[in-house]
Amino acid sequence: MSKYIFITGGVVSALGKGIAAAAIGALLEAQGLRVTIQKLDPYINVDPGTLSPFEHGEVFVTDDGCETDLDLGHYERFTHMRAAVVNNYTTGKIYFNVITKERRGDYLGDTVQVVPHITDEIREAIKSAASDDYDVNIVEIGGTVGDIESLPFLEAIRQFRYHVERENVLYVHLTLVPFIKTAGELKTKPTQHSVNELREIGIQPDILLCRTDRPIPPEMKRKIAIHCNLDQEAVISALDVETVYEVPLSYKTEGLDKFIEKKLSLNLPEPELKTWVQVVDRIKNPKYECTIAIAGKYVNLKDSYKSLEEALIHGGISNNSRVNLIWVDSEEIEAQGVEKYLSEVDGILVPGGFGIRGIEGKIAAVRYAREKKIPYFGICLGMQLAVIEFGRNVCGLSSNSTEFDPKTKDPVIYLMERWYNHRSGKIEERTADSQMGGTMRLGAYPTVLVEGTHAYEAYGSKNISERHRHRYEFNNKYRDVLTSKGLVISGLSPDTELVEIVELRDHPWFLGCQFHPEFKSRPIDPHPLFRAFIGAAVREKRELFL
């Protein structure tokens, strides 16, 4: 039977429950266990697909095309799991399922209530992610204890221990132990209150992860343990660290692996953490460095590009390089010119996005990278804008996307009406009532690479699969005119109808891809395109460091 670890949070939000879940998963994998991680979110949206990046950060996309919370990106980066639709449930999805069952008559006339119907549905959702393929299912509960939205989820996990053997369930609570500067000491009272509130709900935590900027002394751990009805060894200092990839090592130092092993009645070897030690060493002690400018419009909230930021760090790891990121608001480029922001950088990246705001600034960044021979990486929208810029300034077209100008004379990017979905084996069609104006191409799609290109050199393989999240596509009517002037189409769908990757001849490294490679990058296995991009950015500077 699978073991279950439930992770809750208290005191304040943004303490890092997602990182905690992922790091615990990494520790357990390092001990030879098979792990999956699930996020239960209390908001009423059915999924985060329609949420603004300013509101909720990035939307992470799984292979099966599910739009999920960004924490699933952490889970995949720290472990070998590949998330799917069952790894992310929201209040909206739970209630939608229950109401659908009620309308269908599944409850045989029962009065449908939060307990037992909603809590039973949550329990079934938790079980849906567990299977014989996994030894441990880690479940993160979004929000903080005390939020009214979280109560059904907390009640469901309280009941869970009664539906499986008690030794198969572990409750981990993440709290804050702040240092009060005026008093000159750490304070435990917020943690005590948070645990008391959790206990009032009926959950006694087994482990406390205490976020703190300095080690918690033994006498203070003893105080927390006494007030929270815990063993002292169950009080873990969750220290601030230089890089999130150091968290599994920090937890190991605190003895978290041994305590989890004891509480879940496991008999495990010492965790093999050599790879994580190497990753942290590469990040902290790089041989080289480079500066990458990210020209986007959500730059005031870095979580909007969380997977992208991490993938660039991974590219640095593989090139033994520190990657310094400059976040550039593309509207500022429009207002003040491209030279002010991009003249001193070693590489330029334009990420994905939706809407017309800041588009001309991004196109100016693309042109600057092309003309100044600066390594360029365009992702999703960044690829589309590379095609638009090339069409305008090299081919003499009045090129644009119908997303920005429905009446453009040269729609080099347009809304494709039909395409083949290899997962369903069916032709997908857009309809007038499709969500937000068109069905998106979501999830993993195959791509065939052309030999002798940057893309093929990076992957070292002809056939790849990458995750997508977009509506607009390269317009095949313009293939000939664009390629005749030097645009290289280096990646196509197997049926050759969908352009997936474009490059430029006579440029050190200029590549745009329609998919989102950042979603599949890991610190222990950096994505090939990020490895190649950072390699190109570092290449011309290496002699300065030798």
The SS3 assignment for 518 reads helix
Closest CA to 93 of 148, 36, 49, 151: 49
Closest CA to 288 of 320, 310, 256, 240: 320
CA angle 451, 453, 459 (to 5 degrees): 75
Pair 199, 192: CB distance under 8 Å: no
Number of H helices and E strands in the chain, helices first, is 20, 25
CA 82 – CA 84 distance, rounded (Å): 7
Beta carbons within 10 angstroms of residue 107's beta carbon: 13
Pair 346, 291: CB distance under 8 Å: yes
Pair 115, 155: CB distance under 8 Å: yes
Catalytic one among 173, 470, 507, 516? Answer: 516
How far lies 101's CA from each of 94, 95, 116, 151, 152, in Å?
11, 10, 14, 22, 18
Q: Which two tokens stand for residue 342?
A: 């991009």
* DSSP symbol at 508: S
The SS3 assignment for 429 reads strand
C-alpha Rg value of the chain to the nearest Å: 25
Instruction: Identify whether 518 is a catalytic site residue.
Output: yes
Instruction: Identify whether 516 is a catalytic site residue.
Output: yes
Instruction: Identify whether 380 is a catalytic site residue.
Output: yes
Pair 357, 331: CB distance under 8 Å: yes
Q: Please, what's the b/e burial string for 423-453 (b: 16 or more CB within 10 A of its CB; e: otherwise)? A: eeeeeeebeeeeeeebbbbbbbbbbebeeeb
Catalytic one among 66, 228, 290, 380? Answer: 380
Identity of the residue numbered 104? R
Q: How many CA atoms lie within 13 A of 371 on its CB side?
A: 14
Catalytic one among 67, 76, 310, 518? Answer: 518
How far lies 218's CA from each of 223, 236, 254, 340, in Å?
9, 10, 12, 52
CA 130 – CA 125 distance, rounded (Å): 9
Q: Which two tokens stand for residue 369?
A: 């990278």
Beta carbons within 10 angstroms of residue 21's beta carbon: 28
Pair 449, 490: CB distance under 8 Å: yes
Pair 449, 459: CB distance under 8 Å: yes
How far lies 308's CA from each of 240, 286, 517, in Å?
22, 20, 9
Task: Give the residue numbers marked as catalytic.
Answer: 380, 516, 518
